[in-house]
Amino acid sequence: MIAADLIKHGFIICKPITSDARFDLVPYKDREYYRVQCKHNTSHGETIVIKRRRTGQSHMTKHTPETVDWIANFDNTSGLIHYIGANKLGPEGRNQFDLRLVPCKKHQRSSTHMSADFLEPPAHFQEPNERQSGPE
């Protein structure tokens, strides 16, 4: 689902061939590569909770701008794919990232991330790392 959506946005999709990569896809567009961690979950109609990566039965790892450029999440309930740029994760990463499908009941806006703001791949507003530049 995520790869198909990225193709619709004009990306060429590359996939790591090793199992130890900290990302699942490498979309390529406009001479730039991006490391994308793919996730999926089932929301309950109001909030989508995207949790950190599980790398073993007892070890959890946070995604940071050093390990991924985006997190892409497919929500089984809404059928929506959300793209969260690593700049939203902070330099140390986060345990989870919450997206609101509907406004908060108490009209809270501070630290609230609305689902509609994350439906497009963030390539157009996030600078990739220099090492990811494509061939000239």
Question: What are the mean pLDDT values of the chain's consecutive 10-residue runs (136 residues total)?
Answer: 95 92 92 93 88 60 85 93 89 84 74 88 54 43
The CATH number of 2-132 is which of 2.60.40, 1.10.760, 3.40.1350, 3.30.160?
3.40.1350
* Predicted pLDDT of residue 127: 46
* Predicted pLDDT of residue 126: 45
Going along 62-110, which residue ranges are E strands?
70-75, 81-85, 96-100
Beta-sheet strand order (sheet of 81-85): 36-41, 70-75, 81-85
Strands 47-51 and 53-54: unpaired
* Predicted pLDDT of residue 123: 58
With H, G, I as helix, E, B as strand and everything else as coil, classify residue 28: strand
CA distance 75 to 22: 21
The structural domains of the chain, with segments of one domain joined by +, span 2-132
* Predicted pLDDT of residue 122: 81
Q: Is 38 exposed, middle or buried (0-12, 13-18, 19+ CB in 10 A)?
A: middle
Single pTM value for the model: 0.80
CA distance 58 to 64: 20
